[in-house]
C-alpha cells in the first residue's frame, strides 16, 4: 500500500470517528434529562436546590425554584449556597425567584457552605432564614468591574486596531486602549448605582438600618459567626440543621424526605468526564467580560 493511500485511509478513519462522536453527542443530549432523586427518606418532602459555582447564569436555579414552588408535595426548600457570587443581573434574578418562592408561602432556608459571598450573599437575602457555618466566608457587599488592556502587547507585535463610533463612551472599557479619567468616573457612576441596589436589598431583607449595613459594606468578607453578630444571617448551623429548620417551617412532623435534582449524564459526558462542561463554563465567563459583578475575589 502506498504512503498516499495510507494517509487517505487515516484521514477517512479520523473523519468517521469525529462524525460518530458528533452523532453520539447529539443523541445523548436529546435523551438526557433531569430527575429528582431521594437523598433521605422520611415523611413529607423538602427539596434541595444547590448553587455550587460562580453565578454566570440564573436560568437553571430559577427553573428549579419554579419547579419546586409549583409542586404541592414540596413543603419547603433548602437552598445550599456555595458561591463567591458573579454577574449582577444573574444574582438579582435568582434573588427575585427565591423571594417569590418565600412570598408564595413556601419556606426557603439558605444553608451557606464554605463561601457564600457577594452575589452568593445577595441571592441568600430572599430566603425565609439564613443558616451559616461558623467558618463560612460571607459578606463581600460590593461591586467589581474588571477588564483587560492589550494595547502594549499589540504595539509590540505590530498590530493596530481601528474603532469607528458614534459617541465618546461607546467603546468605554475597550481592551485596545487605555481608559480615560472621564471614563473611570462614568464607570464609578454605574458601580455606585448597582452598589446602592445591593445595600438597599440587604437593609430591607435583614431589617437593618442602612447606616448599619454601610459599616460593613466595603467589600470585606466576614465569618459566619461575625455575620450572625452583625445581623446578616439568622443562626449558625450545618446543612442538616438547615433541613430541620425547613421541616419545622414547612409544618413537617418527624423526619422529612429530602429530594434534589439529579442530572443524568449523557453518554458523551460519561466518556470524557466533566472536562467539556468546565471548558464551556470558562468560555462563557470569558466571553461575557466585561460585566458588572457582585463577586468575591479571593487572594489566590
Active-site residue set? 118, 170
Q: Encode burial over 96-118: b for 16+ CB neighbours within 10 A, e otherwise.
A: ebbbbbbeeebbbbbbbbebbbb
Q: For residue 132, what is its C-alpha cell?
A: 451559616
Q: Quote the cell numbers at residue 229.
A: 453578630
Spatial separation of the C-alpha atoms in residues 120 and 127, rounded to whole Å: 12
Coil/strand/helix, residue 45: strand
Alpha helices in 70-223 (DSSP H): 88-103, 119-124, 151-157, 181-206, 210-214
The number of CA neighbours under 13 Å toward the Cβ of 235 is 10
The dihedral through the CA atoms of 79, 139, 199, 233 has a sign that is positive
Contacts of 29 (CB under 8 A, 6+ apart): 266, 268
Residue 37 to residue 259: CA distance in whole angstroms: 6
Report d(CA 259, CA 40) in Å as an integer: 7
Residue 176 grid coordinates: 485596545
| C-alpha to C-alpha distance for 63 and 111, rounded to whole angstroms | 19
Q: How far apart are the first and last CA of the chain?
A: 56
Question: What is the chain's percent helix, strand, coil content, to nearest 5?
Answer: 45, 20, 35
Amino acid at each position: 500500500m502506498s504512503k498516499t493511500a495510507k494517509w487517505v485511509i487515516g484521514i477517512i478513519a479520523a473523519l468517521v470517528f469525529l462524525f460518530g462522536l458528533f452523532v453520539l453527542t447529539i443523541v445523548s443530549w436529546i435523551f438526557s434529562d433531569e430527575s429528582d432523586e431521594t437523598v433521605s427518606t422520611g415523611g413529607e418532602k423538602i427539596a434541595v436546590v444547590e448553587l455550587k459555582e460562580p453565578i454566570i447564569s440564573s436560568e437553571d436555579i430559577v427553573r428549579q425554584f419554579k419547579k419546586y414552588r409549583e409542586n404541592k408535595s414540596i413543603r419547603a426548600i433548602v437552598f445550599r449556597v456555595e458561591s463567591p457570587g458573579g454577574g449582577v443581573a444573574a444574582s438579582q434574578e435568582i434573588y427575585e425567584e427565591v423571594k417569590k418562592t418565600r412570598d408564595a408561602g413556601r419556606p426557603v432556608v439558605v444553608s451557606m457552605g464554605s463561601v457564600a459571598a457577594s452575589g452568593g450573599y445577595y441571592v441568600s437575602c430572599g430566603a425565609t432564614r439564613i443558616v451559616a457555618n461558623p467558618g463560612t466566608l460571607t459578606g463581600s457587599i460590593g461591586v467589581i468591574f474588571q477588564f483587560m488592556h492589550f494595547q502594549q502587547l499589540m504595539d509590540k507585535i505590530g498590530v493596530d486596531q481601528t474603532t469607528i463610533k458614534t459617541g465618546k463612551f461607546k467603546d468605554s472599557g475597550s481592551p485596545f486602549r487605555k481608559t480615560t479619567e472621564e471614563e473611570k468616573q462614568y464607570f464609578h457612576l454605574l458601580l455606585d448605582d448597582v452598589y446602592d441596589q445591593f445595600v438597599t436589598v440587604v437593609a430591607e431583607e435583614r431589617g437593618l438600618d442602612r447606616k448599619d449595613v454601610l459599616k460593613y459594606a466595603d467589600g470585606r468578607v466576614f465569618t459566619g459567626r461575625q455575620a450572625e453578630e452583625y445581623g446578616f444571617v439568622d443562626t449558625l448551623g450545618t446543612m442538616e440543621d438547615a433541613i430541620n429548620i425547613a421541616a419545622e417551617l414547612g409544618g413537617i412532623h418527624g423526619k422529612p424526605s429530602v429530594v434534589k435534582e439529579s442530572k443524568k449524564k449523557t453518554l458523551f459526558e460519561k466518556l470524557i468526564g466533566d472536562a467539556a462542561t468546565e471548558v464551556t463554563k470558562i468560555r462563557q465567563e470569558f466571553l461575557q467580560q466585561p460585566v458588572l459583578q457582585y463577586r468575591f475575589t479571593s487572594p489566590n
